[in-house]
Amino acid sequence: MNALAALLSLLLTAAPPAEQLGRQVKLKILVDKVLQQHGKWVTEEWMVKESAAAGFNVYSPRRGFDDLAAVKQVTAWCAAADIYHLVWMRGTLDAPAGAESAGRRLVWASGVEQALWSPNSDEFWDWTTRYIVEYAKISATMPALLGVFLDYENYASNKVNNCYDLSYDQQTLQRFATAQKVAIPELPTTERKAWLEGKGLHEAFATWQVSQWRERCRKLRQAVDAHNPAFRFCIYPAPGTPFMVEATYPEWSTAAAPLILGDPWTYGRSSRFQPQDVALEANRQIMLRGQAIPKEKGIPYLYTGGIDPVVAGADPEFSGKNALMLAEVSDGYWIFYEGPTYTKDDHKEYWKWFTWANKAMDEGRFAAWRTPRETPEDWSLAVFDQMKDGPRLVAPPPPAAA
């Protein structure tokens, strides 16, 4: 009898097969900056164990993507804790100033140039491919390595939008000119889009550039599949930029490895002074609208709503109930866990509510997000904080309803 009980316990606690994540089992992804920061940005086993004990089934440390030995070690710890490892890395690559990257830096339609390698540059794709293929190799023998979390938020100065849209850098224009057998003069960055439009070439330029993105993405997926066809790509911010929707959607998503989409538009409340029930319903509608985009594209995907404690109104109880609501209407949720301090009460409160939400998901009690608020809404404190610290980070406006 004791042996049977032990077997049942093992079956209940073992990690679900990866193909069940987001389907029979909700994704519960922790992108960790709080525990990792306490460990001086080096992942330690206790961080994985505490995340698993709180009910998360995917752990993604914010730093360490470029240390393959650390990637293997974190994966081994995740396997021992019966959860999965998702390697976090930026989807953008800083470009040096000056001649070294001249003509190959990202240029927006407005002419604004940023210190990022163009999405059409060999430098960007060589860097991206080098790391991701290594992760795929590791995952072939260590299946607890689920895939890679690619962050396409634009963190560089002179930001126009998230990455990427069409780039009007000189190298891209010249490659297009060669492909089309046309002559394109060297123009100031602010005049390039207008020149293409004036010559009736812009539509062809857009079509050609998207085809270049797709070819690069396809080659990366093929290189990954050579080692592990089940390797997952998780991309943020969903539903996505033109690069994400037009290239990564069709090329990185497969039946064996559905694309995981991380939506940030539900991080907190759309207004700091919005009551919890109103804010949760607003986020619910955002999630329903967001999922319509990959659904329309007809790709295999898993959609997850995001939470970030630093944004407006994302207090511990709201965040826990937000997590449960997001999982009810999608394939799970993910947290960009920043703001709290591991040794302080704020972390304890957030951890308590995330643990509550994860347990409710496992038990199928999704309606619990609608239960009355337990913690008083402290509007006076919110006003004080706003006056003292100024406006806090908030997610950009959500996509408009179709």
Q: What are phi and psi of 124, to 5 degrees?
A: -65, -45
Tell me which residue range forms the domain holding 386. Answer: 22-90+258-402
Would 201 be classed as within a structural domain? no
> Which regions of 198-307 does DSSP assign to beta strands (E)?
232-236, 259-263, 301-307
259-277 confidence digits (pLDDT tens):
999 999 999 998 888 999 9
CATH code of residue 45: 3.20.20
Would 74 be classed as within a structural domain? yes
20-51 confidence digits (pLDDT tens):
999 999 999 999 999 999 999 999 999 999 99
pLDDT in the model for residue 379: 63
pLDDT in the model for residue 12: 46
Lowest-pLDDT choice from 161-165, 212-216, 382-386: 382-386
72-118 confidence digits (pLDDT tens):
999 999 999 999 999 999 999 999 999 999 999 999 999 999 999 99
Pick the closest to residue 149 from 223, 59, 249, 218 (CA basis): 59
21 three-state secondary structure:
strand
pLDDT in the model for residue 295: 97
Rounded-to-integer distance, Cα 219 and Cα 128, Å: 12
Would 402 be classed as within a structural domain? yes
Q: Which residues pair with 117 in a beta bridge?
A: 105
Q: How many CB atoms lie within 10 A of CB 386?
A: 14
pLDDT in the model for residue 377: 86
Would 249 be classed as within a structural domain? no
Tokens of 30: 């922790």
Pick the closest to residue 287 from 309, 310, 304 (CA basis): 304
Average pLDDT of the segment spanning 172-180:
98
Helix locations, 2-42, DSSP H: 2-13, 34-38
Rounded-to-integer distance, Cα 274 and Cα 99, Å: 50
How far is the first Cα of the chain from the last one, in angstroms, to the nearest whole number? 57
Task: Give the confidence band of 398 by pLDDT, cuts at 50, 70, 90.
Answer: very low
Give the distance, in angstroms, between the CA of residue 42 and the centroid of all CA atoms in the same chain.
21
pLDDT in the model for residue 393: 38
Rounded-to-integer distance, Cα 257 and Cα 164, Å: 23
Tokens of 359: 């347990």
Pick the closest to residue 14 from 78, 77, 83, 73 (CA basis): 83
Instruction: Give percent of the chain with pLDDT exceeding 90.
Output: 88
Tokens of 381: 């404190």
Pick the closest to residue 147 from 64, 79, 70, 84 (CA basis): 84
Overall residue count recorded for the chain in this entry:
402
pLDDT in the model for residue 271: 85
Tokens of 363: 């038990």
148 three-state secondary structure:
strand
Please say if the pLDDT value at position 181 is more than 70: yes
Average pLDDT of the segment spanning 144-152:
99
Please say if the pLDDT value at position 313 is more than 70: yes
Please say if the pLDDT value at position 374 is more than 60: yes
Please say if the pLDDT value at position 288 is more than 90: yes
Would 242 be classed as within a structural domain? no
State how beta strands 232-236 and 145-151 pair. parallel
Cα–Cα distances in Å, from 389 out to 34, 267, 313, 383? 21, 20, 14, 10
Q: How many domains does the chain have?
A: 1
Average pLDDT of the segment spanning 305-321:
97
pLDDT in the model for residue 7: 41
Instruction: Give percent of the chain with pLDDT exceeding 70.
Output: 91
Rounded-to-integer distance, Cα 146 and Cα 121, Å: 28
Q: What are phi and psi of 168, to 5 degrees?
A: -110, 35
